[in-house]
Every structure is written in structure tokens, then in C-alpha cells.
Structure 1
Amino acid sequence: MNEFLIFISLCFGLDLLLGDPGTWPHPVRFVGCILNFFEKFFRKLKVNLYLAGFLALITGSVGIGCFVNFLTTLPVIGNFFAFYLGYAALALGSLIREGRKVLSLLTAGELEEARHALSFLVSRDTRVMDEQEVCRALVETLSENFNDGFCAPFFYLALGGPAGVWVYKFVSTMDSMWGYKNRKWRQLGFAGARADDILAFIPARLSALLLWLAAKVLRLPVAVKWKEVLEDARKTESPNAGWPMAMAAHILQVELGGPAVYFDQLKDKPKLGPSGREITAQKIEQLISIILTAGFLFFGAVIVTGLVFL
């Protein structure tokens, strides 16, 4: 078994086993500090914010890639940094754990606690959600973050190793922090948002395919029509977020989207999936099983590819 397969296997296994321990320093926080520095620096200079966004994107991406490459090639401890940074870039284990936590609170009838637990997974306001709104938000974030938290990072980890995945994570974090279409962020976040759209283009569509294959592997009674998935995926503002969400909606035969509150503003999100279908705890449990199976399918595909071509 070559070094690449050992590396990929350990990163995937550690992610499932350990998730994201809250007491450990996470590299994403370091990326966030860099972006906060860039924001204050460029706003203080009062330069064109579109230009500032592009400069931050290029400088940060190159800097992160070079820094990670330096750490992972250090004598003796380089392998430790490689395994840690590879594992830390993935979030499948945490996604499954947090999803099950919200679901268990819902099934126990603890709606207030479920809202609070959900607030750590979504950017929308969860304080006044009813049970069905919590269920819908949970399905949406689980399916969307299957791509954002695992599929896309694993894709770039397999292609570019730790340096490659952390360039992607820098862009993704930049989009998460700056990519809002409001007066404060529209200009500064433009470059990061467009770069994230480009980098996530293939993984997003791959994530939908993996969810569909996982449902088949689990022998779920699904009859997904790809034409309808495609139509729904195109409804979302993001060219990528709609793919895993639309696929999840059609696999589970539930309706996603609708009104949601973001930063005290009501937003009417496009409806995805069959109209008027209620989301049950059983449906959410099915989705968690599908996502976990899809993760293993992607891992298996990477291993087989490595065995064949490396």
C-alpha cells in the first residue's frame, strides 16, 4: 500500500473517529484570523474593495499553500503536520455527530434544546422555529454540508494533498465570512465567492451523485428523476449549494426551502422537492445513513483510483 493510500485512509478514519474536538486548535480559526486582518487592513487603506478582495484571495491562497507545504516537508515532524492538516480539513464525522444530536433532541421532545444545537450548524435564526422548521433546516444543512464539509475538501485532499485542500479551505472560509450580498460585504467578498463557486463546481455535482448512489446501496425505495433534480438545483442563488439539497429532497421525497430568517431579515428560499411533504425523524435518520454511506463510497472510489493509477 503506497504512502498516498495510507495518508488518505488515516485522514478519513481520524475524521470519522475524532470529528472536531472543541478543545483542539483548528486551522480554520487561523484562516479566520488572517481574513480579519485583511479586512481591517484594506478598509483602513480605503482602497477599492473589489481589488482588495482579489488581493486577499491571491495573497492568502498562495501564502496558505506555501505555509502548509513548508510544514509538511519539515524533517521528522512533517508527516505529523500532514496527517493533522489532512484530517482537520474534513468534517464528515462532526456533521454526522451534530446531526444525530439535533435529531435525538427532537425525538425526545426537547424543541428548545434542538433549536440551540441547530444554531451551531446554520447561520439562520433558530430561536422561534417550530419542529417542522427545525427538521427542514437540519435536512438542508446536512445535505449542503456533505459537500462543503466533506466532499469538496476530500476531493482537493486527494488531488493536492494538505496544501491543496487548505488552499480550498481558505477560499471556502473567505466565502463563508465575506460572501454575503449586502452593502458591507458585496464588494470585498466578490472574489472569494466567485472562486468558491469555481472550486466547488465539480464536487457539488459529485456530492449529488454520491447521495443518489448511497440511497441505491441502502436499497431505499427511491425513484429520483434527474431532470427534476437539475431543475431544482438551478433555483438556488449558489450554482453549487442546490445540488446536494435538491438530491436529498427528491431522495427523501420532502419539501425544502421556504421562509427563513437570516440576520433579522426574512428570506424566502426557493422550494426544492415534492410540494407539501412533511419531514419526519425517520427521514432525517435515513439522510444521515445516506450521507455516511456516500462518504464511504467516495473514500472507496479514491482508494480504488489510487490502486489503479498510482
Structure 2
Amino acid sequence: MLVLTLFSLPFMAFLLDLLLGDPQRLPHPVRLIGLWLDWLEPRARRLGLPLKLAGVLCVFATAWGSYAVVNFLCSIKYFGLILLVYFAYAGLALGELLASARAARKLIEDEARLDEARQAVGMLVSRSTAEMDAQELRRTLAETVSENFCDAFVAPMFYLVLGGPALMWAYKAVSTMDSMWGYKTERFRDLGYAAARTDDVLAYVPARLSALLLLVVGALLGLNWRQALARFRADAAQMDSPNAGWPMAACAWLVQGSMGGPASYFGVVKLKPALGPIGQEWTLDKLTKLSRLVLLSGFLGVVLLQAAMVFATRHLWRYF
């Protein structure tokens, strides 16, 4: 089964993602989706429909359109094989996440470059980092790496294995909409409601799978998996999001670093629930352990997802 995984499209995409990171010189599909959403927003507002209903139509059009475009391009004779690999690889962002975290980590440890560290961490999160000290930057970096293990890797990989690059990009389209429109601000409270709720539904299983992978790898690495297993679900339940707390709380308990506390979003300070052991500060060593935990959990995720799909294809589909 491992041999089949190593020669599969998901593993190839995983390897390319780690080696190459985001394809900076190519027209990344996420950027194209972002341009589409910028074009779509004013037109959706002019439809004359209730904004929540307009948001539903936008989610459907964006997800279905992404699926159809990717499916068509990947079906082109000969050239479609190259695009198949490209779309699979481009939908993952674990390599870029870990590389950006590593660069930010180095800046945080250099007191003379703390302003650069604030900018680097600020590129990874939506909250303001302008007034953060080194410890707040470490905590913020730990939170975004933990949460994005699901958003940037497990969830798109889950849909890649389930339905190929087209389904993966239907999910990525919704995830991008949530990132751009899913805010409880006056501008997007109604129009972005459907995108946020759809993303919650689509990420429900991947978020829980993310926590499971982290706990298994945490046990293999000799981290605090028993305490994490006993405590992380109660912590995750405190979060507004039904999904974000699962990988975050699992990482907080495994690596023994506190998450949560005050965070500034668009000028408004929000008190986020406490995750993990109270009062445990994030150190360089803990951030390094976290990156190793996430990387190895990603590898395990590819193997298990591909194995599950091979098993289902061979043994279950005959009954349907």
C-alpha cells in the first residue's frame, strides 16, 4: 500500500509542494479566484436580491465554475496530464506555510529585526501584528501553523484524494471565498454568510482528521499525547469556528504551548478562548517541534488517505 501511495498523484503533489512551495511565477489559481471574487462582489450586490441569497448564488457559481474549468483543462489530450499534476500541487500550501514559518521564526529571535518579524507574521494572519512583542509573535505563529495544517493541507488533500483536482479546487474556491468574504463586518456579514457556512461544512471532516493525525504523530514523537487526547476536544469546543479549534488545541496540548488571548481584527480587539496549558510560553524549541509535528502529520495524512481510497475502490464500490 505504501508503494502505491509513493507513486500516486496525491503523494506527487505533496512532494512538489514541499520542494517548490507556491508557484510564484505561474498564474496561481487562488489569485485567479481572488480576481474573480473582486469582479463578482459589486455585481452580486446589484442583483436586487437579499444579500444572503446572492451569497448562496456566488458560492454555487464559484465552486461549480472552478470544478468545471479544472475538469475541462485536465481532460485536454496530453497537456491535460501536466495540468493534472499542476492543479494537484498548486492546491496544497504546506511547504509554503512551513517555509514562511521558519523565516518568521528566525526574524523573531533577532531582536534587531522585530519589525520585520511583525511584517512576516502579519503576512500569515488576518489580525494586526503591529504592536506584538516577541512572545505574542511566537504564539500567533504557532496558532496559524496549527490552524492552517487543516486549511492549507489536510482539507485540500482530502478532496484531492476523494475526487481529483477538480473537486479539490471546488473546495479551494469556497475556502478562498471564506478567506475574502467570511468576516462578520458590515460589508460581508450577509454577502459572505453562505461562504463561511459552506466552508464550515466542507472542513468538518478534515479538521477532525487533522487532529487525529497530529495526535498519532505526537504519540510517535513522544509528545504529551495522553494529556492532549483528554483535553483538546473541550478546548476546541470553546472556539467560534466549529473546526479551527481541533488542530489548534491538539497542537497546543501536544507541544505544551498556550494559545488564545486578545487579538486585534480590523481595529477591534477580540478575546480568543484559551487553548492548551495555561501560562506555557512559546519558545524557539517549541515552534521547531510544532513544524516537525505538522510536517510528519502531513506525510501520514497522504499515506492514510490514499490507502483508504485504494481500499474503498477495491472492496466497497462493488456494493453500489
Aligned counterpart, 1:27: 29
Correspondence for 1:304 among 281, 303, 307: 307
Between 26-35 and 150-159, report the one with greater CA deviation: 26-35
Q: In 1, Cα distance between the equivalents of 2:100 and 2:88?
A: 21
Any idea what SS the aligned residue of 1:121 has? coil
Pairing 1:60-99 to 2, within 5 Å after superposition: 60-99=62-101
| Whole-Å separation in 2 of the counterparts to 1:81 and 1:279 | 41
User: 2 CA distance for matches of 1:133 and 1:202?
Assistant: 30
Q: Answer with 51-60 or 139-148: which moved more.
A: 51-60
CA deviations over 1:155-191 (Å, ceiling 9, x no partner): 0000010100000001101111111112111110111
Correspondences of 1:149-228 after superposition (within 5 Å): 149-228=152-231
Residue 45 (structure 1) aligned to one of 40, 44, 47: 47
Q: Which runs of 4+ in 1 moved over 6 A?
A: 1-4
Query: How far, CA to CA, are the matches of 1:280 and 1:94 in structure 2?
Result: 21
Say which is worse superposed, 104-113 or 2-11, in terms of deviation.
2-11
Cα distance between partner residues in 1 of 2:170 and 2:101: 27
Q: CA 1:276 to 1:126, structure 2 compared with 1: closer, same or farther past 3 Å?
A: same
1:106-121 matches, cutoff 5 A: 106-109=108-111, 110-121=113-124
2:255 corresponds to: 252
Equivalences for residues 252-291 of structure 1 within 5 A: 252-291=255-294
- Is the CA contact 2:215–2:229 (under 8 Å) kept in the aligned structure 1? no
Conservation of the 8 A alpha-carbon contact between 1:197 and 1:240 = yes
Q: Is the 8 A contact 1:175 1:192 kept in 2?
A: yes
Report the Cα offset of residue 76 of structure 1: 1.4
Give the Cα separation in 2 of the matches to 1:21 and 1:75: 23
Task: Read off the aligned partner of 2:302 and give its amino acid letter.
Answer: F
Summarize deviations over 1:64-103 as a string: whole Å, max 9, x none: 1111110000111111111101100001110110111111
| Matched-pair contact (CA < 8 Å) for 2:121–2:137 | yes
The worse-fitting range, judged by mean Cα deviation, of 102-111 and 263-272 is 102-111
- Report the CA distance between 1:253 and its aligned residue: 1.6
- The answer as to whether partners of 2:223 and 2:255 remain within 8 angstroms in 1 is no
Q: Distance in 2 between matches of 1:191 and 1:215?
A: 35
State which of 102, 105, 112 in structure 2 corresponds to 1:103: 105
Alignment-mate amino acid for residue 40 of structure 1: P
The secondary structure found in structure 1 opposite 2:274 is: strand
Residue in 2 that maps onto 1:14: 16
Deviation at 1:112, TM superposition (A): 1.5
TM-score (norm 1): 0.95
Which consecutive residues of structure 1, in runs of 5 or more, have no partner in the other structure? none
Root mean square deviation, CA, Å:
1.7
Alpha carbons of 1:275 and 1:67: their partners in 2 closer, same or farther (altered >3 Å)?
A: same
Given that 1:69 and 1:162 are in contact with CA atoms closer than 8 Å, whether structure 2 keeps it comes out as yes
Aligned to 2:8, what secondary structure does the other structure show?
Answer: helix
> Amino acid of the residue matched to residue 261 of structure 1?
S
Cα separation, 2, equivalents of 1:73 and 1:303: 22
Unpaired runs of at least 5, structure 2? 315-320
Larger deviation: 53-62 or 105-114?
105-114
For 1:77 and 1:200, locate their aligned partners in 2 and report how far apart those are by CA, in whole Å: 31
Q: Give distance in 2, aligned partners of 1:284 and 1:99.
A: 9
**Higher mean displacement: 109-118 or 255-264:** 109-118
Q: For the structure 1 residues 250 and 4, does the alpha-carbon distance in structure 2 shift closer, same or farther, using more than 3 Å as the test?
A: closer
2:60 to 58, 61, 76: 58
